[in-house]
């Protein structure tokens, strides 16, 4: 409520109150999710509609994985790397998927560091709902930029994450960096590329003491 002087009345005698507007989180707070066909994850639904990549904040599509912004981020620039194939178990990834994701991870850290000049990054994945996976049926890696002193009382006391930049602006900034730092590419002959990168060698046998 605003009084005649333009001050915000809080009902507690305080004035000039501040508000943090985060309307994009309303769907998350309300417990609603985008509806998908039975058995299809939200990531599979996004993967199936490349014509809506900008709307879905998809930053890059590879042959076996794609990169997108997290719609409910822990920090500005919170991205995810997701295999195109819907799998829940880490050991279900095939060799080609693992190689592509392994190449995308360092590239994405470079892109985010260049874009946001962050002091560090959290990289990880949660296997299973009990481990904190929000989309347990579809494996995905989180890459979260961090800054010195970015932790504060808001997530703990108010259960609110303060985001200094709107999602479309974050998306545009990262896309601008990607134009200057192109993603890694895999040759069609994955085996040849791997042998060239990691030449075969005889294993070193460490003698054991009797």
Residues annotated as part of the active site: 140
Query: How many Cβ atoms from other residues are within 10 Å of residue 47's Cβ?
Result: 23
Which tokens hold the place of 177? 């960096």
Q: What is the dihedral of CA 147, 152, 155, 156, to 10 degrees?
A: 140
Distance from C-alpha of 19 to C-alpha of 127, rounded to nearest angstrom: 36
Which residues is 2 bridged to in the sheet? 8
Distance from C-alpha of 69 to C-alpha of 88, rounded to nearest angstrom: 20
The secondary structure of 4-72 as a DSSP string is TTSPBP-SSS--S------GGGHHHHTT------TT--HHHHHHT-GGGTTTTTEEEE-SSEEEEE-SS
């Amino acid at each position: 409520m605003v009084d005649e002087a333009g001050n915000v009345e809080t009902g507690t005698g305080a004035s000039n109150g501040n508000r943090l507007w985060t309307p994009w989180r309303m769907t998350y707070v309300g417990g609603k999710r985008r509806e998908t066909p039975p058995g299809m994850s939200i990531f599979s639904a996004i993967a199936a509609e490349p014509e809506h990549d900008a709307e879905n904040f998809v930053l890059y599509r590879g042959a076996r994985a794609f990169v997108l912004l997290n719609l409910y981020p822990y920090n500005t620039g919170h991205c995810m790397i997701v295999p195109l194939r819907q799998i829940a178990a880490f050991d279900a990834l095939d060799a080609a998927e693992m190689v592509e994701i392994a190449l995308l991870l360092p590239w994405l850290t470079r892109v985010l560091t260049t874009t946001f000049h962050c002091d560090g990054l959290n990289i990880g994945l949660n296997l299973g709902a009990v481990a904190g996976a929000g989309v347990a049926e579809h494996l995905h890696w989180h890459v979260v930029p961090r800054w010195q002193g970015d932790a504060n009382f808001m997530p703990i006391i108010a259960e609110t994450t303060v985001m200094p930049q709107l999602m479309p602006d974050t998306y545009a900034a990262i896309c601008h960096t990607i134009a200057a730092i192109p993603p890694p590419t895999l040759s069609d002959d994955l085996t040849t590329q791997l042998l060239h990168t990691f030449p075969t060698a005889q294993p070193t046998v460490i003698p054991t003491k009797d």
